[in-house]
Amino acid sequence: MDFDQAIRILNGLLADKNPATFSSSWILKHAPRCYRFILKNIRTELGYIDWDTVTYALNKKFQRRWAPGQRLKSMGSYEDSSEVNVVLNNYQEKLYVFIAPTDQQDRRIRDVISISLVRLAQYGNMAAKKEVLKLVGYTVEDWVARYNFMSRWQGYDEKIQKHLEACIRRYRYTGSFIQYVFRTLQYAGRGLQPLYAYSLDDPIAFGSERCKIKNIFKDSVTNEIRIYKRTDHGISGFCS
């Protein structure tokens, strides 16, 4: 048996029995030969059974039915860059996929790397978490520059990082960690107000000689930075 044959058998069984959910125990019960093949041959770089690779290869209509068993218990927060290096060693020349993937194969490699690092981060490895934030951060920067509906995230770096950290914590299986992050930011960004950058040396209005910085002051009571402006009724006022 090889990997493709195991996946064909599992797809056929899932189509035939049509379970609402399935797990490694379900595979052991209904396809023990496939289970033994996976147990022996489909392992992560650190030796764990790589169910992510298995479920990723299944038909998409079955992927969301995967109900993984209890995850390996978190070891608490620790930092081990050697575990990160084990994951990255085979892909050192492929890390460009987080910035400029050229085809579907590159996007698959991006998922393989990111999911492996996310699993390590979920076990408690802070070095892996930092690496996910860095690498996926490059991808998010590309989205912000490329897509109009993502451009509203421009300037919200702290919010982006908080969403990435939440995605790392919550990720179970959705087919693609990168796609999960993309959808999360897409939906969360709908209520964001775009930030506009401008120079305080710019005039407050077209043709005016008064600069915007002249309208900035510090409130002596609250210590807030406020902007002096004129209301629609011609009455001077302040806004924060």
Same domain, 88 and 111: yes
Q: Tell me: the pLDDT tens digits for 132-160?
A: 999 999 999 999 999 988 988 988 899 99
Residue 74 in any domain: the answer is no
Residue 11 in any domain: the answer is yes
Asked if residues 64 and 16 have their Cβ atoms less than 8 Å apart, the reply is no
Degrees to nearest 5, angle at CA 54 with 48 and 59:
165
Same domain, 52 and 117: no
Describe the crossing of helices 104-123 and 126-146 by its angle, rounded to 10 degrees.
Answer: 140
Same domain, 103 and 166: yes
**In angstroms, rounded to a whole number, what is the distance separating the alpha carbons of residues 177 and 109?**
12
Residue 69 in any domain: the answer is no
Same domain, 214 and 178: no
Residue 68 in any domain: the answer is no
Same domain, 110 and 133: yes
Same domain, 187 and 230: no
Same domain, 141 and 236: no
Q: Tell me: the pLDDT tens digits for 50-83?
A: 999 999 899 988 988 888 765 555 568 899 999 9
Can you give the residue range of the structural domain that contains 177? Answer: 81-191
Asked whether the whole model's pTM tops 0.75, one would answer no
**In angstroms, rounded to a whole number, what is the distance separating the alpha carbons of residues 230 and 227?**
10
How many domains does the chain contain in total? 3
Asked if residues 211 and 202 have their Cβ atoms less than 8 Å apart, the reply is yes
pLDDT < 70 stretches in the chain: 69-75, 174, 194-219, 223-240
Same domain, 89 and 20: no
**In angstroms, rounded to a whole number, what is the distance separating the alpha carbons of residues 88 and 135?**
11
Same domain, 30 and 120: no
Same domain, 106 and 125: yes
Same domain, 47 and 94: no
